[in-house]
């Protein structure tokens, strides 16, 4: 995959053949440091240039990123909100709570464990 295929920022910059350490802005022709060559280079400075000098172009990149994120979102993907819901304490009459109590009681009875087992930290 070419470098230009990985980031939308390359729609607004080119790399001159005589200096691989910089990128040239297609909008204002400024030379912006890439902070290295090849895998050591970065697009952070290029994005910052667009953000502060060419806000409309920067906004377009952000909208494209948001579109890609929503396209790649999988409905069965775990979300932090779902995780937080699962960490809330169940009501004593909740079906899951009753099922857990039965499983714990069965474990205590079958393994001949003391009742205080449920008060241990683990």
Within 10 angstroms of residue 13's Cβ, the number of other Cβ atoms is 21
Q: Which residue has the higher pLDDT, 93 or 39?
A: 93
What pLDDT, on the 0 to 100 scale, is given for residue 70? 65
User: What pLDDT does residue 118 have?
Assistant: 80
47-102 per-position pLDDT tens digit: 999 999 999 999 988 888 877 766 665 666 667 777 777 677 778 898 888 998 99
Could you give phi then psi for residue 22, rounded to 5 degrees? -130, 165
CB atoms within 10 A of CB 112: 6
Task: Please tell me whether the overall predicted TM-score, pTM, comes out greater than 0.75 for this model.
Answer: no
What ranges do the domains of the chain cover? 3-72, 81-114
The confidence score (pLDDT) of residue 1 equals 44
Q: What is the pLDDT of residues 93-114, one digit of tens each?
A: 988 889 989 998 999 999 998 8
Dihedral-angle region of residue 70 (phi above 0 means left; psi in -120 to 50 means alpha; beta otherwise): alpha
């Amino acid at each position: 995959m070419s470098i230009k295929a990985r980031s939308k920022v390359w729609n607004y910059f080119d790399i001159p053949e005589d200096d691989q350490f910089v990128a040239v802005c297609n909008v204002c022709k400024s030379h912006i440091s890439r902070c290295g060559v090849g895998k050591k280079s970065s697009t952070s400075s290029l994005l910052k240039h667009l953000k502060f000098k060419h806000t409309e172009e920067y906004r377009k990149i952000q909208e494209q990123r948001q579109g890609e994120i929503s396209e790649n979102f999988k409905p069965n993907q775990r979300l932090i909100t779902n995780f937080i819901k699962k960490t809330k304490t169940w009501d004593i009459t909740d079906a899951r709570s009753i099922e857990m109590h039965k499983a714990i009681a069965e474990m205590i009875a079958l393994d001949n464990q003391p009742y205080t087992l449920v008060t241990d930290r683990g």
